[in-house]
């Protein structure tokens, strides 16, 4: 069987890897035999040359087989959801306990931020003391006791994905359909879910910029999940700006603390933030800067620009071991379609640097938001575009 150099040479040259080749690569990754530079080189070769359907399925299965697979009682209705991610997307955090309260079992294995998009685990870690790394014994006990959990992949559960996910984040190999789908489904199969809903985000602030690319991803997931003998309901949802209004991990959690006060779940994008001041007691914010805009209606919020700003403030990673500053970011109290009064404070920048050093970022924020004087011409389109079974 080929060593890592031979595998790299084979994929670099555009040849198809066999199931044995891919299993070998994942094994070398998990055992630490392959260095991060070699893992990154393989991911880039896969990204550039592409993966066949057979290679993608083999990669998914090898990642599942790299660790344990959880099993649950036959009478349990075990469900989960996964999002391909986008700026400000945090539906999982309120949804999981809501489903558990309805009697379902939700063993969610989630991920960290990728590229410009903040991760569910990073948001949860803004809560002091929250643990995302748990043993399988602990997970089984928690599911039995509470009915749900949100944790990350670890050395026991999908360790192959844990490593590849981390390296993809810092090697510009995130937005590849095959690598994305293998990462998503390996975690979901390993956690033992029986019913899975995946929402594929499409738009400026997501990994899939066009409807066509998002649909291709949805159909790929459906094909793969059938091969992996799981039931999948695939739903695409548009995310042009964000579901929520805040681009900062501690602030996003403050929004979610207020979520149970909502009457209707489907208006999640209008979640209250009245607990926000109380949550700030956990953090020592050094500086605030307030942005002002003219009167009108918020027509557009460019989530990608805001995500890059928060990354530059310290809320993102440029190398795998870089810590995240949970206390910096941008807080918006308005969203698309809301009316703004001239001089109203609705954009806050939380930072730990002198104002002079972030002037370019403030300029970026100013140009990320479009205000239209005439509200009648503003059309935000549909939230749910299509369901693929």
Distance in angstroms (rounded) separating the CA atoms of residues 57 and 19: 9
The tokens for 196 are: 């899975």
Report the chain's C-alpha Rg in angstroms.
21
Q: List, in sequence order, the alpha helices (H) in 31-176.
A: 36-49, 53-65, 92-101, 120-124, 136-145, 159-169
Q: Which DSSP string do the residues of 206-274 spell out, in sequence order?
A: BSB-SHHHHHHHHHHHHHHHHHTT-EEEEEEEE-SS-SSSEESHHHHHHHHHTGGG-S-GGGGGG---T
Choose, from 183, 193, 206, 273, the residue flagged as catalytic: 183
**Exposed/middle/buried for 168, CB within 10 Å: 0-12, 13-18, 19+?**
buried
Is 229 a catalytic site residue?
Answer: no
Catalytic residue list contains 120: yes
Give CA–CA dist 336/329, Å, rounded: 19
Rounded CA-CA distance 224/196 in Å is: 13
**Given the residues 24, 61, 82, 308, the one annotated as active site:** 82
18 part of the active site? no
Which is catalytic among the residues 11, 90, 112, 187? 187
Contact indicator for 307, 244 with CB cutoff of 8 Å: no
Is 80 tagged catalytic? yes
Spatial CB neighbours of 97, under 8 Å, sequence gap ≥ 6: 148
19-30 vs 159-169: helix crossing angle, rounded to 10: 80
Helix axes 159-169, 177-190, angle to 10 degrees: 150
Distance CA 169, CA 173 (A): 7
Among candidate residues 90, 123, 188, 350, the one labeled active-site is 188
Choosing from 168, 215, 224, 331, which is the catalytic residue?
Answer: 168
Residue of 120, 181, 186, 193 with catalytic role: 120
Catalytic residue among 81, 201, 249, 317: 81
Query: Of 29, 62, 83, 186, which residue is the catalytic one?
Result: 83
Laid out side by side, the sheet with 369-372 consists of 339-340, 296-301, 369-372
User: Which residue of the set 65, 80, 122, 161 is catalytic?
Assistant: 80
- Would residue 81 show up in a list of annotated catalytic residues for this protein? yes
For residue 195, give the nearest of 353, 80, 343, 331 by alpha carbon.
80
Structure tokens at 65: 């087989």
Active site residues: 80-83, 120, 168, 183, 187-188
């Amino acid at each position: 069987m080929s060593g890592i150099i031979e595998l790299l040479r084979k994929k670099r040259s555009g040849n198809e890897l066999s199931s044995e080749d891919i299993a070998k690569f994942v094994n070398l990754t998990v055992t630490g035999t392959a260095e991060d530079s070699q893992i990154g080189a393989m991911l880039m070769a896969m990204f550039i040359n592409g993966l066949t359907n057979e290679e993608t399925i083999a990669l998914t299965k090898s990642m599942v087989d790299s660790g344990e697979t959880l099993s649950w009682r036959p009478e349990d209705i075990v469900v989960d959801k996964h999002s391909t991610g986008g700026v400000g997307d945090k539906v999982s955090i309120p949804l999981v306990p809501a489903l558990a309260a309805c009697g379902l079992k939700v063993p969610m294995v989630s991920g960290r931020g990728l590229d410009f998009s903040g991760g569910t685990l990073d948001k949860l870690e803004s809560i002091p003391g929250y643990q995302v790394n748990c043993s399988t014994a602990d997970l089984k006990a928690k599911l039995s006791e509470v009915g749900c959990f949100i944790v990350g992949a670890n050395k026991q559960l999908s360790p192959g994905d844990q490593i590849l996910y981390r390296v993809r984040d810092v090697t510009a190999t995130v937005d590849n359909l095959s690598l994305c789908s293998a990462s998503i489904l390996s975690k979901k199969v390993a956690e033992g879910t029986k019913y899975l809903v995946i929402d594929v985000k499409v738009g400026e602030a997501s990994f899939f910029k066009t409807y066509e690319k998002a649909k291709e991803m949805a159909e790929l997931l459906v094909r793969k999940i059938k091969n992996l003998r799981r039931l999948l309901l695939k739903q695409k949802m548009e995310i042009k700006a964000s579901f929520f209004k805040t681009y900062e991990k501690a602030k996003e959690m403050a929004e979610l603390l207020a979520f149970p006060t909502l009457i209707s779940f489907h208006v999640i994008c209008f979640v209250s933030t009245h607990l926000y001041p109380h949550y700030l007691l956990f953090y020592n914010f050094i500086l605030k800067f307030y942005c002002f805009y003219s009167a009108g209606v918020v027509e557009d919020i460019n989530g990608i620009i805001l995500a890059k700003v928060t990354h530059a403030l310290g809320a993102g990673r440029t190398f795998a071991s870089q810590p995240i500053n949970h206390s910096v970011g941008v807080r918006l109290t308005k969203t698309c379609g809301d009316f703004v009064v001239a001089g109203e404070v609705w954009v806050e920048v939380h930072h730990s640097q002198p104002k002079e050093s972030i002037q370019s970022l403030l300029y970026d924020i100013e140009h990320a938001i479009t205000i239209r004087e005439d509200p009648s011409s503003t059309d935000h389109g549909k939230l749910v575009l299509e369901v693929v079974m």
